[in-house]
């Protein structure tokens, strides 16, 4: 009888650990691959956020997120991210990005801020998918903690989104992990864009 109680207690104690392991996403044994080449001047300009993996630095964004890239004289990119908060006010964040893989131009390091000229934080910004006409892009990093689907227009066609979802799966991402970014002013009310 005592053996049965000990076994039952052990099973009960092991249950939370087993449940935690079952809920944990499967680790993908390979890193995502970047695109072969990015023409940076062509990549520059404004992109609309179609969807992203939820993250702490976009928690206040309500809708209308955009990212605008511009080449600087020093070869780096200036990055301006904008969105509308739930209360309608504009949120703007600026950063710089530096190409770290000049063969492809698809691996960059994003510096969100500097302290006395020093960049204590540099985040991976990998271009994992890019439509040949630069109509949409998929951005992420080697650990797959973050991800964005960007497009030149505020909306994708169902065929474009299906193509992107296939790409995400091949890259080891779960397409369902991406929350849709609201672009309520598209396409008829573009003047309300941030």
Reported as a single tens digit per residue, the pLDDT across 74-108 is: 999 999 988 888 888 888 889 999 999 999 999 99
Query: Which one has a higher pLDDT value, 149 or 7?
Result: 149
pLDDT of residue 73: 95
Per-residue confidence at 10, pLDDT binned at 50, 70, 90? very low
Round the CA-based radius of gyration of the chain to a whole number and report it. 21
pLDDT of residue 90: 85
What value does the mean pLDDT take over residues 115-138?
88
pTM for the structure as a whole: 0.77
Q: Which domains does the chain have, with CATH numbers?
A: 40-184 (2.40.128.20)
């Amino acid at each position: 009888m005592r053996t049965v109680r000990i076994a039952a207690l052990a099973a009960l104690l092991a249950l939370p650990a087993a449940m935690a392991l079952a809920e944990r996403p499967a680790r993908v044994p390979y890193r995502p691959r970047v695109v072969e080449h990015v023409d940076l001047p062509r990549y520059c300009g404004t992109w609309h956020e179609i969807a992203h993996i939820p993250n702490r630095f976009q928690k206040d964004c309500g809708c209308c997120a955009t990212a605008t890239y511009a080449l600087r004289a020093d070869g780096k990119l200036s990055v301006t991210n904008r969105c509308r908060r739930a209360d309608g006010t504009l949120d703007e964040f600026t950063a710089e990005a530096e190409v770290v893989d000049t063969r492809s131009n698809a691996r960059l390091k994003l510096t969100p801020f500097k302290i006395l000229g020093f960049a204590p934080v540099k985040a991976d910004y990998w271009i994992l998918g890019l439509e040949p006409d630069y109509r949409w892009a998929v951005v992420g990093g080697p650990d797959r903690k973050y991800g964005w689907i960007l497009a030149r227009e505020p909306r994708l066609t169902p065929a474009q989104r299906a193509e992107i979802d296939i790409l995400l799966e091949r890259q080891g991402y779960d397409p369902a992990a991406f929350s849709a970014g609201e672009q309520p002013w598209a396409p008829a009310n573009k003047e309300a864009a941030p």
